[in-house]
Structure 1
């Protein structure tokens, strides 16, 4: 919290220094001071100082910047109605606000690095008890063997319960790994231990449970989340349109020049349309600039493009290398079949090695819970190009599933910015 406050004050001080050469007695700095209570209050309410932000730096930065945006927006609206900003420098205030976002994010990343080093990556104290079973354990957790420490799931033995209580003292989370027949007994013991307790249940791994619910008093395992909420779908759609419409207008000259170059370079249509798998596993036609000779286009996508592929035209080689061939997908975004950010859509015949994508990993179909995107988390991590091996697909699939599980509009914005660095990529051919 102190670092956040210093970041805002330093940013507005910098704005005053840039504009006037000093910071003393400047009303521009007072705006930063006025924003602090609103910013800190909003950040507290949004969980920007909770334990989650120590575990995941991205979560903390996202919540803090969201609170900052709300604070500045509220102040600007208030100052507009009160006509307060008439006598202050717009340059100084702009630098202060922009600098606040940069410094808050930078300070939080430094704080996260220092915290990680100080705690060895374990910001909470975790105890894992192994009861006649072995399982993988994180390096930051304390691991003990139940039998060696005379621990067993017996509610009728007060001395044993006392031994367990001593082990649990000062622990934030305890996980019991035991045989299925002992799970209920361990669970009953943990319920009275005044601690966050969990029992490893490997028998549920096969169904991929992501949560627990109830039906008429019976426990159910949640195995899918369904679509985003109505509010989040609206936010994502507005984000798509806010980018796609201006981009189509600004890029219109480039699109026309590219279309003309394709027509002059080889016979055939300007666009290449291919059926791909979209949201809910529904097929749709994706638009791309044609980069191959028309009689050698691969409608099913069963043959991955190779380096120096003789099917590619001269213009096609350039637009593929610079990702210009993907720009017509802005029309897919405009029409609603794609998003700006999401899992990349694949052709029906796409192969990883000699296997179809869905034969490589049964989780493949899970990636279609959201609309496919022009760019995505897998792309900004460098997973592009042909899929010669199974690993080429599984790395992309893991990134797609991670994106779906942790979607936020802030993450879409960061992925979009990161895409700039991979527009020209060694695997784009």
Structure 2
């Protein structure tokens, strides 16, 4: 993995352990009831979320964003003394300040140890990203100063430029970059905009988007914009990240995952627990074959997984290659009903609990269709930067089911990319509500 998904939750747990253990041992009177315990822990979590304390960038160090650390300590101290005052406790304020200093000192020590161990881990070869640079200008030397620090976890492979060089990091002309990037599993491409024509930049952007590679621009005065563009600073050199996505942040991913687990658990417990036996019996009575239909589909980062549905068709050899069409002869009577009401999709909440899918996201396609669309629909693979969903923005906008004309899949991809670039929890809730309304009222393409 290029980044550990455990860093943020482990840090949160360690911080809460430090707070609770210190208060329990040094200030038990302020920590002697459930309300106080909940208050201190909830205050810490809300404050850290509000100031975006936990998400870290790859080139962050111990003193990076240290102002956030100080802000966190100040705000938490105010919250702590607010509770202390309301309860009219007799413990001196000076002593409580000493207790807070113990908490903050321990957290700072943990922060130092964390970055120290992270640096060692990266120097030893863990948590790295492989990068190349396209084009050489005066900014390359400054960026190399960042890449050449092993504790930051970059593995600089070299650069491409149309002007040959004897430098050991020169890899060839720009046209040679595409095969190198494919063959050497490059994760990020940095482009010197001043050295590329507009056609070359557009070709590189399309190549990276269609191959699940992050592309970042070292800008000049050329105008290249996307909805997901963001600026990062490497020292004093601005870098344009053309694929800065909301779900790149740990807080966003954990928020979405927590929502998925809670929502899916409720569906499984209160709906699937009694619906599966009923639908299963009806399916078995009408046709031979399994109750559930499973099919390999592509998920986040184009990883394959088995997607589950209630079987709505008679068992057939074309199930993994041929999409359902209107008046399809393979469709059973109960299958027609469960597809019309979208009941056939409900087993995918199991996929959500397993972590292969999300409640909301781009719909996963069968592997044969992914192979077809990635070569015929521009930027199709961008939708695979997020987990696939049971429902999605494209589906509530009418682009679900059969692809009748080319514009169907183009518009579906366009809406999927918009969702990936503009994700928010509120957007997920809106999509879920609209999905339920569409299921109740019926949809034209629900067949």
Structure with the bigger RCO (C-alpha within 8 Å, sep 6+) is 2
